[in-house]
Amino acid sequence: MKNLFKMTLLLAASAMVLTGCDCFKKMAKNADDVKVSCTPEVLTLNHGTVVADVKAEIPAKYFNKTASLKVTPAIVYASGITKGEALLLQGEKVADNGVLVKTGEALSLNRQVKFAYTPEMNVSQLVLLVEVKCKSGKCKEYTLVNANDGSLASKEQVAALAQGGKAASEAAAAVGLAIAKGVNTLQADLNYAEAMQVAANNYKNVTTHVVKADIVYRINSSLVGRKAVETEEVKALKAAVEANKANDRAVQSVYVNGYASPDGPEKFNDKLSQKRSKTGLKAVEKLLKESGLNIDAAAYGEDWEGFQEAVAASNIADKDLILQVLKMYSSSAEREKEIKNMSNVFKSLKTDVLPQLRRAQIVNSADVTGKTDEEMLALVNAGKVAELCIEEQLHIAEVCPAVAEVVLTEAAKTGDARALNNLAIVYAKAGNYDKALECLNKADKKGITSELNNNYALVYAAKGDVEKANSYAANATADAKALVAAANGNYASAAQTLKSGYNAAIAQVQNGNLAAAKQSIASDMSAKADYLRAVIACKEGDLKEAKSQLNSAVSKDASLAQKAATDVNLAALK
């Protein structure tokens, strides 16, 4: 690093020799003994701020006891300047609030200068504005010095600095000592939206709808009573069959399954379930004779599965004990024996559970094919998004990004948290992080879980609010944590997690691993990847390759020409 601050001290001291400020004469003779560095020479954007570090080692017996030196860092750009906090050094006999430099002791200084970033700073330089003061001579008050040639600044230059704007920019560039140039804004190119999590939908192109109804028999009987097929449950099943028949997207089947309640001899119950399947089949064939369906029938013996479900759903006092018996014994006889031993419980079973298991169960299963993506897209384009169900809306928004905003805006009107979350991603991809945050806040009120922590972390990182991003990152995905680390300027940590892709390449470039960065975007032929390859080539000193990649990037996205014009990373091409 260049010993630029030392040069400043030397030039300032030289100026005092010329202007009669005697306290700097001896300091000028020993200026080479001051060891100072400024890092970095190309400034770097870090979550909305630009930071530079200045380190100085001042030897003992160097600083004059009556001298004062004020150094103000400033970023100078075309339309004005932004000043940082001034560094004031003072000798032992100076009564001021600066850093005391004792004549007999060496002093090590570490100062960080920080600026709030604005895009105008992309083409800029960091300069040191130097003012000096001595108890005797012409500089009894702080006097601005031209740090480049040792002369006092003119009255016009002093006035221009006070005026601000372009005039201040020109004056600061003339009298200030440049120690860094431009601002590396690669951090701003991180694609936070890429790592945001889409809330899943439950869309299925083919859905299975099952309707069940029971024909209930008397104990030990297989005769179908007239009222057994006139229940509301059976009527609903018949209506479902008719509706499916009218739906050209539905393919349906009907089954009749015969059962016996699990009390009495097992062999007897097996035969009884077979008889019930046959009589149940005849009753269903008559009931659905106009459907034209081929109806299958089967017998399943004792209905222990139905028994377990019925007990679990009941209010029987000892139902947990009954369910435990079912787990302990696999034999039908042992189960029946143990349950009958619980005499009080068995009375409840005889009246509340067993009668409903003496049945032939009718099952109507229909596979319904939903709208194709083309059909859904046609409805969207016709302005009929509302005709899609919420799952269809979420699906088509995911597979057709071009209509995602329109579809999800409509879907979000239902208050569905998934739609709000996914709409936030759409806005984030468009760079509208305020709208994205608004959608996430609405989704948060609806109770969506894992996706929100992840997406909040990324949106806040993109907005430059790293404190809030850090608070959400703890429960975010590994990639989101890595991007938040990059937003904090911790590129080494980010590069460890992000192994490939555009974001990984940026982290690797910032971490100084150019070879890994090139590998990460080797298969990415997008305009932004070409642009990043141009940056990498410039850093490697391959200007021919850099120009080729930049031309490729601009041919794909003309707006990148304007970006390149102010990009310090491509300054070597100018």
Task: Read off the CATH number of the domain in which 387 is found.
Answer: 1.25.40.10
d(CA 13, CA 471): 50
**pLDDT digit string, tens, across residues 478-516:** 999 999 999 999 999 999 999 899 999 999 999 999 999
| Predicted pLDDT at 25 | 62
The pair of three-digit structure tokens given for residue 526, joined into one six-digit string:
């997008």
- Band (pLDDT 50/70/90 cuts) for residue 8 is very low
- 293 and 361 belong to one structural domain: yes
* Mean pLDDT, all residues of the chain: 90
Q: What is the pTM of this model?
A: 0.74
- Band (pLDDT 50/70/90 cuts) for residue 98 is confident
Helix (H) or strand (E) holding 536: helix 527-540
Residue 214 one-letter amino acid:
D
> How much is the average pLDDT of 211-240?
95
- 387 and 353 belong to one structural domain: no
**pLDDT at residue 569 tops 70:** yes
- 176 and 263 belong to one structural domain: no
Residue 370's nearest CA partner among 241, 527, 247, 219 is 247
Opening angle at CA 181, ends 177 and 184, nearest 5: 155
Q: 297 - beta bridge partners?
A: 256
| Predicted pLDDT at 28 | 57
- 32 and 157 belong to one structural domain: yes
**pLDDT at residue 4 tops 80:** no
| Predicted pLDDT at 18 | 46
Residue 192 lies in a domain: no
**Higher local confidence (pLDDT), 56 or 105:** 105
| Predicted pLDDT at 520 | 97
**pLDDT at residue 19 tops 60:** no
Structural domain for 35, as ranges = 4-184
- Band (pLDDT 50/70/90 cuts) for residue 134 is confident
SS3 512: coil
- 113 and 219 belong to one structural domain: no
d(CA 379, CA 71): 67
- 343 and 377 belong to one structural domain: no
- 344 and 379 belong to one structural domain: no
**pLDDT at residue 518 tops 90:** yes
Residue 22 lies in a domain: yes
d(CA 484, CA 339): 61
> How much is the average pLDDT of 153-160?
92
| Predicted pLDDT at 15 | 44
Q: 210 - beta bridge partners?
A: 365
| Predicted pLDDT at 137 | 72
Picking from 369, 398, 422, the residue at the C-terminal end of a domain is 369
What's the residue count for the chain? 574
**pLDDT digit string, tens, across residues 429-447:** 999 999 999 999 999 887 6
> What letter would DSSP give residue 140?
S
Residue 336's nearest CA partner among 260, 276, 266 is 266
| Predicted pLDDT at 344 | 76
d(CA 229, CA 496): 68
Residue 246 lies in a domain: yes
SS3 446: coil
d(CA 295, CA 21): 111
| Predicted pLDDT at 150 | 65
If 0-12 CB within 10 Å is exposed, 13-18 middle and 19+ buried, where does residue 248 land?
A: exposed
- 117 and 247 belong to one structural domain: no
The residues near 114 (Cβ < 8 Å, ≥ 6 apart) are 49, 50, 51, 84
- For the chain, first and last CA: distance in Å? 24
**pLDDT at residue 205 tops 70:** yes
| Predicted pLDDT at 448 | 62
Measure the CA dihedral 451/453/459/463, to 10°.
Answer: 180
Residue 442 lies in a domain: yes
| Predicted pLDDT at 16 | 45
SS3 25: helix
**pLDDT digit string, tens, across residues 279-335:** 999 999 999 999 999 999 999 999 999 999 999 999 888 888 889 988 998 888 899
Residue 69's nearest CA partner among 25, 131, 24 is 131
431, 421 Cβ separation under 8 angstroms: no
- Band (pLDDT 50/70/90 cuts) for residue 26 is low
Percent of the chain with pLDDT over 90: 69
Number of domains in the chain: 3
- 362 and 393 belong to one structural domain: no
431 Ramachandran zone, left/alpha/beta (phi>0; psi -120 to 50) = left
Residue 18 lies in a domain: yes
SS3 84: coil
- Band (pLDDT 50/70/90 cuts) for residue 142 is confident
SS3 196: coil
Picking from 369, 397, 422, the residue at the C-terminal end of a domain is 369
Residue 236 lies in a domain: yes
CATH of the domain at 346: 3.30.1330.60
Q: Which of 23-27, 41-45, 139-143, 293-297 has the lowest mean pLDDT?
A: 23-27
**pLDDT at residue 340 tops 90:** no
Residue 201 lies in a domain: no
Residue 117's nearest CA partner among 163, 84, 86 is 84
- 174 and 238 belong to one structural domain: no
- Band (pLDDT 50/70/90 cuts) for residue 3 is very low
**pLDDT at residue 519 tops 60:** yes
**pLDDT at residue 1 tops 80:** no
| Predicted pLDDT at 22 | 63
- 330 and 412 belong to one structural domain: no
Residue 460's nearest CA partner among 448, 474, 447 is 474
Picking from 120, 154, 184, the residue at the C-terminal end of a domain is 184
| Predicted pLDDT at 574 | 80
Residue given tokens 């139902």 in the structure block: 319
- 440 and 524 belong to one structural domain: yes
Residue 349 lies in a domain: yes
> DSSP labels for 200-232?
P----SEEEEEEEEEEE--TT--PPPGGGGSSH
The pair of three-digit structure tokens given for residue 481, joined into one six-digit string:
């944590």
